[in-house]
Structure 1
Amino acid sequence: MAEPGTTADGRARVLADGKEIPLLGLGVWQVPDGRACEDAVRWALDAGYRHIDTAQAYRNERSVGRALRDSGVPRDEVFLTTKFFPGREDPEREAQRSLERLGVDYVDLYIIHWPQGGPTWAWDGMQRAHERGYARSIGVSNFDVAELGAVFGVAEVPPVVNQVQFSPFEFRRGLLAECERRNVALEAYSPLGTGRHLGDRQVAEIAERLGRTPAQVLIRWALQRGLVVLPKSTHRERIESNAQVFDFALTDEDMAALDGLDRTGGTDRAQEHAWW
């Protein structure tokens, strides 16, 4: 059964602009440019992923592009995201450079990586990148409730995505509620806590009972909330295992137990401590 806002097969979400975004994606944060990144992306595409998430700041767009071309998967079947590095001046120009590095004509989603310098100054350039066809959808990342509201206050084309750190342990209820109110899809990065959450006793108990891995349980929690979820791995067997999350469901009791692991107090903030 599909969650609200998702497609009938439960594998994608319809964004506010009508585009469809696959709920499961591969994130390549901290994956070095070169063979490691190319392998991870190729293995993910082989395993059925159709959503790859990179960024200008990751410095691995060239490898993502090479892997996509070498995979044999048609470009129009892969949802490709990159992010504007807000230390630069012009999102439109930086989008062009990203397209050159990726070797593609457009990205499916282009988002401001974090609200450095304030939440609104870059939005005009994001809209220009959208208008020029460099990006089919635009959004933000690491924006809290107030910052998201500021963008809506100036936007002609509103953001359709907010990508933030999110998991049962970082269950930012206030931020999720505001995103849902504005019909902004929340994308969960670091859903496994960069590995920290995999050893939690309660997660492990649910996984053992279901015959699943702790990672699959954490990813499934996000999917059952209708979230886009971006687990990262450079190990082929884990990439493949993380994709096996559409053939089981967590019970209401399991979901409630996982909800109770939140350490943020249900915050409306995107970050406990900004790094910029």
Structure 2
Amino acid sequence: MAAVSSEADGRTRALADGNEIPLVGLGVWQVPDGRECEEAVAWALEAGYRHIDTAQAYGNERSVGKALRDSGLPREDVFITTKFYPARQDPEAEAQRSLERLGVDSLDLYIVHWPQGGPTWAWDGMQRAHERGYARSIGVSNFSASELDAVFAIADVHPVVNQIQFSPFEYRRGLLDACDGRRVAVEAYSPLGTGRHLGDAQVADIAERVGRTPAQVLIRWAVQRDLIVLPKSTHRERIEQNAQVFDFELSEADVATLDGLDRTNGTDRALESLWW
């Protein structure tokens, strides 16, 4: 079984602040706190994942922390991300609470989950969390190009990540270019479209030709762009399969076919509609 290692072997990338992040991580959005989340994280760590992505809003940080402790892996071997819930007031105080729930001394990455109330108000608290050592890196999520610009205009410490919905079907070229121009790494959430994209005929054709699953094809598309990608699953076999994307390559023709599936017209926006 192929493992997603944290070594600098093409399976990680350097962020603008010099920290290394594994390209493939397990996302735990909509995974209930308790046994289901603990098992998913445990299976991922057994399969070689070294990157787990959670959030205060998910309500499952305690389960992520328990699975990490039970794994026996050294803390420094696993990259942990959580996200500030912007309905709350103080990112620094909420980072402390996340550390308590996770049972760790510091986060590898701390992200503003979405730009509720405007893109800049939370950034001072994010910088304080970084300054106090609660988070090695800080970033944002669901920020458009203009919202990212607003943060850069007031920041002493720049965001190094923008976590956005991204896949061949949500190929936000304008936003990707804006992030690249600011040395902000794109993290792709919902790379499988919460399962919707797996049944697409062109994805299936490519998967059959290369002898892989549709999920592996979609994840590999992101990896070949040096994007961080966060597939979510609670099924052990799929978690393991989703890690096995470093031993094959998509051809230029296959990548071009996948690029053509975009339904966003190459937007620089992070979302088509707001949920808050």
Superposition TM-score tier, normalisation by shorter sequence: over 0.9
Is 2:140 the partner of 1:140? yes
- The answer for unaligned runs of 5 or more in structure 2 is 1-6
Residue 108 of structure 1 is matched in structure 2 by 108
Q: Secondary structure at the match of 2:176?
A: helix
Instruction: Look up the equivalent residue of 1:12 and give its one-letter code.
Output: T
Instruction: Look up the equivalent residue of 1:10 and give its one-letter code.
Output: G
Residue 3 of structure 2 is matched in structure 1 by none
> For residues 246-261 of structure 1, what are the structure 2 equivalents within 5 Å?
246-261=246-261
Residue 84 of structure 1 is matched in structure 2 by 84
Is 2:125 the partner of 1:125? yes
Is 2:65 the partner of 1:65? yes
> Following the alignment from structure 1 to structure 2, what is the Cα–Cα distance between the partners of residues 183 and 111?
16
Is 2:47 the partner of 1:47? yes
Instruction: Look up the equivalent residue of 1:83 and give its one-letter code.
Output: K
What's the TM-score, normalizing by structure 2?
0.97
Per-residue CA distance 1:87-141 (angstroms, 9 max, x = gap): 0000000000000000000000000000000000000000000000000000000
Instruction: Look up the equivalent residue of 1:173 and give its one-letter code.
Output: R
Deviates more, 1:8-17 or 1:91-100: 8-17
> Following the alignment from structure 1 to structure 2, what is the Cα–Cα distance between the partners of residues 185 and 163?
8
> Following the alignment from structure 1 to structure 2, what is the Cα–Cα distance between the partners of residues 41 and 192?
19
Residue 262 of structure 1 is matched in structure 2 by 262
Count of aligned pairs between the two proteins: 271
Instruction: Look up the equivalent residue of 1:79 and give its one-letter code.
Output: F
Deviating above 2 A after TM superposition, structure 1's stretches of 4 or more consecutive aligned residues are none
Instruction: Look up the equivalent residue of 2:236 and give its one-letter code.
Output: R
- The answer for unaligned runs of 5 or more in structure 1 is 1-6
Per-residue CA distance 1:20-47 (angstroms, 9 max, x = gap): 0000000000000000000000000000
Per-residue deviation at 1:10?
1.1
> Following the alignment from structure 1 to structure 2, what is the Cα–Cα distance between the partners of residues 206 and 274?
33
Per-residue deviation at 1:9?
1.6
Residue 191 of structure 2 is matched in structure 1 by 191
Residue 177 of structure 2 is matched in structure 1 by 177
Q: Secondary structure at the match of 1:67?
A: helix
> For residues 195-274 of structure 1, what are the structure 2 equivalents within 5 Å?
195-274=195-274
Instruction: Look up the equivalent residue of 1:189 and give its one-letter code.
Output: Y
Instruction: Look up the equivalent residue of 1:88 and give its one-letter code.
Output: R
Per-residue CA distance 1:182-222 (angstroms, 9 max, x = gap): 00000000000000000000000000011100000000000
Per-residue deviation at 1:8?
5.3
Identity %: 80
Indicate the RMSD between aligned Cα atoms, in angstroms. 1.0
> Following the alignment from structure 1 to structure 2, what is the Cα–Cα distance between the partners of residues 200 and 175?
24
Q: Secondary structure at the match of 1:234?
A: coil
Per-residue CA distance 1:123-170 (angstroms, 9 max, x = gap): 000000000000000000000000000000000000000000000000
> Following the alignment from structure 1 to structure 2, what is the Cα–Cα distance between the partners of residues 8 and 70?
26
